Structure 1
C-alpha cells in the first residue's frame, strides 16, 4: 500500500508541469468513468454490508461506498454529453460541479466518520449491524442532487475564449481534497494501520485528494490532469474492491475447509454414536446372557448332582444284576451322556467354560456322536463323515468338541433351507513349519458368505438369522473352544458356493490308551480308607456305595467342618473326596487346603456339578472332577 501511495504522489508530481495540456473534448469519458465507478462502489458496498456482526466503522465505510455509487450515477446523468449528445439526461448542466464536489467531499466525510467511530468499536460489544449509515448515505445523495438543481451557479467560466473552472469549482474541489487529507491524518493519529481496511482507505483518499487537486489545478476540463483523474479514480476504487474480493474468497475457502472438517467430525461423531449404540445393545445382551447364564449354571449344578445319583446307582444295579441288564444300562448311560451335554450347554450360557482336555481317539468320538449329528438334519439333508484311519490323538474336551460340531452342523443346515450335503472330513495335515496337525472340516453346499460376513463370522452376538432363530454365539463358541485347545479355526466361503469351517488341532505329544479299572488305579484299592464329604444326601450315599462296591472303606459326612475336625482328632484316610460347593463358611477348596496342612500325604480330589471355584481349586494344585462320574472316571482323575 505504501508503495502504491508513493507511486500515486510521484506520478502526480511528474504530471504537474503538463497538467493543463489540453486534449480533444470527449464528454462520454465522464459517462464511462461514472458508470465504472458506480459499479465498483456498489460491489464494494455489497461486500462490506454483507458481513455479519460487523463493527460500526465498517458499516459507515460501506455507506461511504453506497454514497459514492449514487453520486457517480447522478454525475453521469447530469454531465452534458456523457450519455446524450451535448446535453444532460436530467437536471441543469450547472449541477455537475456541485455534485462532483459533494461526491468527493461526502465520501471523505463518511470515511472520517468511520475513523471516529472505530475508537468505540473496541469498547462496545458487536451487535446486529446498524442500517443507519446506509440510510443517511441514500438521503444525503438525494439531498445533494435536489440541492444542485436549485442553483444556476456556473461550473465553468470563459477566460480568454477558453472554458475554465469557476471559483466555485476550484474552491469546492480544494475543500474536498482537504477533507480527504484530514481523514488520512486521523487514521494516522488513531493508529488504525493495524486494520487493513483503513490502510487501503489511506491509499484511496490520497489518490482521490491528489487527483482532485491536480485536476482542479489544471484549470478546466479535457486536460491531461482531467483525464488522468478519471483513470486514477477507477483504479483507486478497484484496488479496494479487489482487496475485499480476495478477503471474501479466503473466507469462503476457510469456510469450505471448516465445513469439510465439521462434516468429517460429524461423520466420526455419528460413527461413534452408532458404535456406542451397538455397544449398549451388546451390553444389554450380555447382561441378559449373564442373568440366563447364572440361572443355567445353577440348573447345571443341580442336574449334575441328580445325574451323579443316577450313574452311581446304575453302576450298583449293574454289579448286582450282572450282564443281563448290560444293554439297558448302556442305553441309560448314553442318555445320561446326552443329559450331561445339555448341562454343559447350560454352562456355556454363562460364558465360563471349564475345559476338561484329555487325549481322544477321533475315530471313536465320531462313532459315538454321528447319530446325534444326523438327528440335527432333515431328510432333505445328507451327512457324510470321513475320518482318516490311524489318526494320532488330540487333547481336547470331548464334550466341547461335540458342541462345536453341533453348532457347525446346525449352521450348515440353516444355510441350506432347500436341502444339501454336509460333509465332515478329518485328516492329518502337514504344516509349512514342519509340524503336523489334525484338521476337522465341516463343509456345506449352502448360500455361502460375502467377504464382509466372513470378517465378522466369529464376532459375538453377530448373526444373519432371523430374530429368535440365532443368538450369534455358535461360531464364537467354536473359536473359543479351538483357541483354548491350542488350535486355530478358519472359514472359507463364497456367495452361492458353500462354506467350509476348518478346526486345526495340534497332535497330542504322548497319546495314551490307558485301560484304567477301579482296581488298577491307585489309590482305589481294596481296603483304602476314603473320607467322602458332600452336602447332598442322595449324591453322598450313592457315591459312598459306589466306592464301597470297589472295596474301599468309606466314612462320610455332609459338613466340611466336621470332616476337618475328624482329621484334627487323628483320623487318617488315604483319600479325601469332597464337593466344592457346600453351605456354611467352609467350602471344599478351603477344606482341601486345611486338610493338606494337617495331613500332607493325603490324596485329595474335589468334585463339582458346576462351580466358578473350580478354577481356584486348580490354581491351588488340587485336581477337580466334574459330576456325574463313575469309577472309571474317578480312577482316571486320581491317576
Structure 2
C-alpha cells in the first residue's frame, strides 16, 4: 500500500511535468507571436529552461522505474541530481519570469505610447474632419445661395424684360385706345339722348376707359408708372374687379360677395386696389382650380381693436377690411411664413412668378395697412386686408371733371406720327373751337414752326416718334421760341417724368388715351399761364 502511494506521487509529478512542458511551449509561442523574444528575452535561456523541464521529466520517470523494480543503483546520485537541477531550474525560472515581466512592461509602455500617438492622430483627424464638414456645409450653403441669387437675377431680368415689353405694348395699345375714346366722346356729344346707338357707344367708351386703367395697372406692375394716391371709396373697384374675375375663372368656382355700401373712404390708387384684389382672387382660384369651390369676398368697416392678432405697428382707428377666402387646398404654417417673400411660389413652372403676393404686401404696407392670413391644409385660406380709413376735408376731395368742355380760338400745332390718333385729336381740338395745324412728321412740324414761330400759341406733340422724338422736338422749338407752351403726350412715362419735362421747359404732359374734358382743361391751364 505504501509503495502504491509513493508510485502515485511520482506519477503525479510526471503528469504535472508534462503539463508544465506543454504550458511552457505555449508561452514561448505566445511570446514569439508578439515579436518580443528577439529583443527582450534571450533565446538560449528559453532553450535551457526547456531542456531542464525535459531533464526533470526524465528524472521522474527514472525514479519511478527504479522504485517499481526495487533497483537502488545510484539512487542517492539521481536524487541529488534531481534536487540540484531543481534549484537551478527555480533560479532560471525566477530570472526568466523577471525578464518576461520586464519585457512585457516595455512592450506595454511602447503600446501605451503608440496608443497615445494614435489617439492624438485620431483627434487631429476628427478636427480635420470637423473643419472639412464645416467647409462642405459652407460650400453647400454658398452654392444654394448662389443658385438662389441666380434664380432671382434671372427672374429680375425676366421682370425687366416684361417691363420693357409692357411699356412698348402700352404705347401701342394707348394709340389704339385714343381714337376709340375720342370718337366715342365726339359721338356722345353730338348724338341726341334718344339715339338708338347711344347706349352701345357709351359701353364702348366705358370699356375703352377700363382698358386704359388696365394699361395703367400693367405699367404700375412693371415699375414704369408712379402711383397717385387719392381719396376714394373702395366698393366700385371691388365690384369691377370681381366682374372681371367672373369672366376669367370657370363656373365650377362660385363667387360670393358681401360688400358694405357704408364702408368709409381710403387714400389709395384705384389701379393698385384693383391689383390687390386680382392677385388675391387669382391665388384663390389656383387653390381651387382642380376641384372647384367657393370664392368669398367681403368688405366691411371695423375698428383697430377688432383686428385679430394686433401688432404695435397698427394705428388706432377705423379700417376697411377686405376679406378674400377660398375653399381650396390651404397652407401649413411654414408656407404662410414665406408667402410674401419675393419670388416664392408653390405653383408649377409657368403658372406664377412668385411676385404677386409680394407686390400686394408692398402696396398695403405703403398705405399704412396690414394683412392677416388664416389657412389650414385641406380647409382653404383667408386673406384679411386692412386699409386705414380717412376723413378728407372738402378741399381734398377728388375733383369731378366738368361735363362742359372749355374751348378757345387759339392756334395749336399738333404733332403725332399715328395718323388715326392725329385725326381724332384734331377733331377733338376743333370741336373745342381751336385752330389746328397737324403734322405726322416731327421734322416737318419743326420746319413749319421754324418758318412761322409766332403763328402758334401752343404745341401738342406725341413722345415716341421716328427720326425725332417729342422730347427733342420740344427742345428745338423752345430753343427757337422760349415762351412757347408745350404739352407732351405719351403712351407710357418710361422715358419722361414731370420733373424731367419741367427741366426741359415742357409745361406739362398727359398720358394717352386722353379724355376730351381732361385735354380741354389742361390746354386752358397752359394758355392762361402763358398768354401772348
User: Could you say what secondary structure the match of 2:191 adopts?
Assistant: helix
Pairing 1:458-473 to 2, within 5 Å after superposition: 458-473=340-355
The equivalent residue for 2:203 is 331
Q: Which residue number corresponds to residue 253 of structure 2?
A: 381
| Pair 1:451-2:329 in alignment | no
Distance in 1, matches of 2:148 and 2:24, equals 73
The 5 A counterparts of 1:224-243 are 228-243=98-113
Query: Is 2:376 aligned against 1:494?
Result: yes
Partner of 1:257: 127
1:609 and 1:457 mapped to 2: Cα distance? 34
Which of the numbers 229, 233, 237 marks the counterpart of 1:365? 237
SS at match of 2:454: coil
CA positional deviation for 1:495? 1.6
Q: Are 2:385 and 1:503 aligned? A: yes
Identify which of 452, 462, 470 aligns with 1:579. 462
Question: Matches of residues 514-533 of structure 1 in structure 2 within 5 Å?
Answer: 514-517=399-402, 519=404, 524-527=406-409, 530-533=412-415
Cα distance in structure 1, aligned partners of 2:210 and 2:264: 26
TM-score, length basis structure 2: 0.71
2:273 equivalent to 1:401: yes
Which of 147, 163, 170 does residue 300 from structure 1 map onto?
Answer: 170
- TM-aligned CA deviation for residue 228 of structure 1: 4.9
Secondary structure of 1:383's aligned partner: strand
Q: Deviation digits for residues 265-310 of structure 1, max 9, x if unmatched?
A: 2233223323333443444444455445433432221111011111
Question: 1:92 maps to which residue?
Answer: none
**TM-superposed deviation, 1:628:** 1.5
Contact map agreement 2:49 2:92 (CA 8 A) in 1: no
Indicate the residue corresponding to 2:423 in structure 1: 541
Q: Judge which range, 26-35 or 420-429, deviates more.
A: 26-35
Which residue is 2:297 aligned to? 424
Match of 1:316 in 2: 186
| Equivalent residues, number | 459
User: Contact conserved, 1:518 with 1:631, CA < 8 A, in 2?
Assistant: no
The residue that corresponds to 1:246 in the other structure is 116
Q: 1:312 to 1:277 in 2, by over 3 A?
A: same
| Compared CA separation, residues 276 and 394, structure 1 to 2 (3 A) | same
Q: How does 1:7-46 map to 2 (within 5 A)?
A: 42=34
- State the alpha-carbon separation in 2 of the partners of residues 529 and 603 from structure 1: 12
Match of 1:629 among 503, 510, 514: 514
Aligned residue in 2 for 1:212: none
What root-mean-square deviation, in Å, do the aligned CA atoms of Structure 1 and Structure 2 show?
Answer: 4.4
Q: Is the 8 A contact 1:307 1:336 kept in 2?
A: yes
SS at match of 1:322: coil
Distance 2:493 2:164 in 1: 11
Structure 2, unaligned stretches of length 5 or more?
A: 1-19, 56-80, 305-313, 526-532
Cα deviation, 1:484-542, whole Å, max 9, x if unaligned, reads: 6564444332222322223344445555142221657xxx4434554433332321221
Q: Would you say the 8 A contact 1:492–1:501 is kept in 2?
A: yes
Distance in 1 of aligned mates of 2:456 and 2:349: 56
Match of 1:414 in 2: 286
Q: Is the 2:450–2:477 contact (alpha carbons within 8 Å) kept by the matching residues of 1?
A: no
Q: Deviations over 1:103-141 (max 9, x none)?
A: xxxxxxxxxxxxxxxxxxxxxxxxxxxxxxxxxxxxxxx
Aligned to 1:191: none
Q: Contact 2:404/2:517 (CA < 8 Å) preserved in 1?
A: no
Q: Which moved more, 1:371-380 or 1:310-319?
A: 371-380
Q: Is 2:463–2:470's contact at 8 Å kept on the other side of the alignment?
A: yes
Q: Give the 5 Å matches for 1:121-200.
A: none
- SS of the counterpart of 2:116? helix
- Classify the secondary structure of the residue corresponding to 1:571: helix
Inter-partner Cα distance in structure 1 for 2:31 and 2:498? 92
Cα distance, 1:405 vs structure 2: 1.6
Q: CA deviation at 1:448?
A: 1.1
How many Å separate the matches in 1 of 2:451 and 2:325? 60
What does 1:593-604 align with in structure 2 at a 5 Å threshold?
595=478, 599=482
User: Equivalent residue for 2:59?
Assistant: none
Distance, in Å, in 1 between the alignment partners of 2:498 and 2:28 is 97
Aligned pair in 2 of structure 1 residues 313, 251: CA closer, same or farther (>3 Å)? same
8 Å contact 1:424–1:440 — kept in the other structure? yes
Query: What's the counterpart of residue 340 of structure 1?
Result: 212
CA distance in structure 2 between the partners assigned to 1:619 and 1:506 by the alignment: 34
